[in-house]
Amino acid sequence: MTNRRASWLAVAFLVVAAILIGRLFWVQVVWGPDLREQAQAQRARLYTDPARRGEIVDREGNRLAYTMQARSLTVSPITLRKELREQQELQMRIDGLSKESIEAQIDARVEDVLRTMANEIPVMIGDGVVEREETEKESSRSKAASDAPRTVGNVSAREILDKLHAETNYEVLVRNVDPDVAAQVAKAFHGVAADHQDIRQYPNGAIGENILGKVSMDGHGQFGLEASSDAILTGINGRSTEDVSADGQAIPGTLRDVVPAVDGSRIELTIDLDLQTFVQQTLEQAKANSLALDAQAVVLDARTGEVLAMANTGTIDPNGDVQKQLNEGRDFDNDSISHPFEPGSVAKVITAAAAIEEGLTDPFEVHQVPGSIDMAGVTVRDAWAHDVAPYTTAGIFGKSSNVGTLQLAQRLGEERYWEYLQRFGIGRTTGVELPNESAGLLPALEQWSGGTFANLPIGQGMSWSALQMAGVYQSLANGGERIEPRIISKVIGPDGEEIEQPEPARTRVVSEETARTTVDMFRSAFQSDPMGLQSGTAGGNELEGYQLAGKTGTAQKVNPETGAYSQSQFWITFAGIAPANDPRFVVAIMLDEPQRGPLRGGMGGQSAAPVFTEIASWLLNRENVPPSPPAEPYILQAE
């Protein structure tokens, strides 16, 4: 019996051994590769090194937008409380406490830790006045537990404690924390992570925000240049892999597959921050003074077509309460390129330049201009009643005669006039490097009805953006050559090397002689005559010591209820060149339905010319432009 029993035991042992060996073989050989991969996956951590978004600066290097790296302190409340409970239970067992004592004290101990975190995190984040809330009812808890949460600066310990108690798997305790401070907090408190966070800064508030736009919470451009140049500004994130132990500690020597981050490129704009600030503030004042609905302005370098300033009213301040501002009617729109309007008499400069280029008139020709004209059944009148008057060509435009302009347009004919509209870029986008640019509105020649040619030459029946309007005058200020406007001057890559940008397209619109003659003739708008005979529509807005050229405009808005032109709602426009004798700057202005003048107290008449003069004066003074030589005034109305 003893030998038989020993034999059975031996057989059982061999069977068990065989099973174990087979199992070991199966685990190591069959499951081994998969298990190794799973273990590797559990140990390996893939880290992302976020690239920094490129900054945007003005032509002088002043920061308009840049990214500040910070951290968000985050936690998983449910997991944190579970792990704290396990830690406290283990510690109490080590301390020799009974099961009953552990159950009685564990909740209070976990709460002590949570309250300590809530009180200490604000202190670690920054200095500030510590304010204690009223102490909650005392209990047998320790002093640390009974102390109510504190507030340091803008960080509320009460809010942190509430988040630590939340029944969620993810909470952001504090945003926008200095990286070094965040690392200290994460090291000091179990379960707190310092997540990377990029903060896009706009140091000038609403100034230029219509150009810049903004980025979303996930760092992608939403509006303006931030959106249109997102690919340029956004870099390439870096990455690396490293193994960690079960408690989350990095295992030395396991760092691998390191790919460094490539930061975004730096964009230098043609914008002048000081000028942009002045123009934007001037527009807001003009809107308030005139009780207008809106105002727009664009300033171009006459010689290069570069955008020096581009502003509209109601621009949002990204540093303020965005939702509140949206409710108040402010927005991120760039109306200067996306909200076109009928230009009114400002558009007459195209007829003037075309007629001179074609040799059909000169500034001194005297025309017999009646008070009204009939074209294809449409009767057009001048803004003031008069009998047949002997206006010169300069007088037609200086006094802004609709009838005289249409007489010259008839000499041109529809097809030649259409050709000049094309040369000046009307009905097409300018190509500026900004999103949501409108091409405006220009009916195709084939679609013209009998009355179309009675409207277009006087600036009705088509729409321009403020940038397009400035571009028309830049073409003449630049000796008859139109240059596509540009707002990006340079792009500097992360390696410091300049990235070449495409050259703006150039179009010969009229000859240099025609451009010079036209610009000089449009000085007539600023002429003042005590008798009124030789006065232009912008008289009284001249700038002592300088020759200015430009054109006023008043365009009737369409009444949406009747579909006809309104007799009380107008776009008031002005486009001008300073100085006229040696063009340096082009300024285009639009006021939407002003009720009175744009100067303080509503002075300045129903014209945008005073706004032009304010901006031109600031520019000429800032740039120390030498005064213009004396020039003879034009005869506007013959005796």
d(CA 611, CA 591): 10
For residue 202, count other CB atoms closer than 10 A to its CB: 22
d(CA 99, CA 87): 15
Token pair for residue 453?
């040619």
Question: Quick one: which of 508, 491, 524 has its CA closest to 425?
Answer: 508
| C-alpha 294 chain-centroid distance | 18
- Give yes or no for a contact between 10 and 206, defined as CB atoms under 8 angstroms apart: no
- Give yes or no for a contact between 100 and 190, defined as CB atoms under 8 angstroms apart: no
For residue 32, count other CB atoms closer than 10 A to its CB: 12
**Maximal CA-CA distance, the chain:** 150
d(CA 463, CA 558): 12
Catalytic residue annotation:
345
- Looking at the DSSP assignment, which residues form a beta bridge with residue 256? 241
Amino acid identity, position 247? D
d(CA 591, CA 170): 50
Cα 605–611–617 angle (5° rounding)?
125
Name, in order, each residue with C-beta under 8 angstroms of 613's C-beta and a sequence gap of 6 or more.
541, 542, 543, 548
Name, in order, each residue with C-beta under 8 angstroms of 574's C-beta and a sequence gap of 6 or more.
346, 538, 550, 551, 552, 553, 587, 588, 589, 607, 608, 609, 611, 612
Instruction: Please identify which residue in the block is written with the tokens 């073989």.
Output: 25
CA 178 vs CA 68, 123, 128, 129, 160: distances in Å = 10, 13, 16, 19, 18
Helix-then-strand count for the chain, H and E = 21, 24
Residue positions counted in the chain: 639
Strand residue runs (E) in 469-525: 481-483, 488-492, 498-499, 506-508
Label residue 403 exposed, middle or buried (CB < 10 Å: 0-12, 13-18, 19+).
Answer: buried
Question: Quick one: which of 18, 51, 109, 57 has its CA closest to 272?
Answer: 57
d(CA 596, CA 606): 6
The DSSP H or E segment spanning 240 is strand 238-243
For residue 513, count other CB atoms closer than 10 A to its CB: 12
Question: Quick one: which of 346, 351, 367, 352 has its CA closest to 637?
Answer: 367
Token pair for residue 602?
């509503």
d(CA 611, CA 618): 11
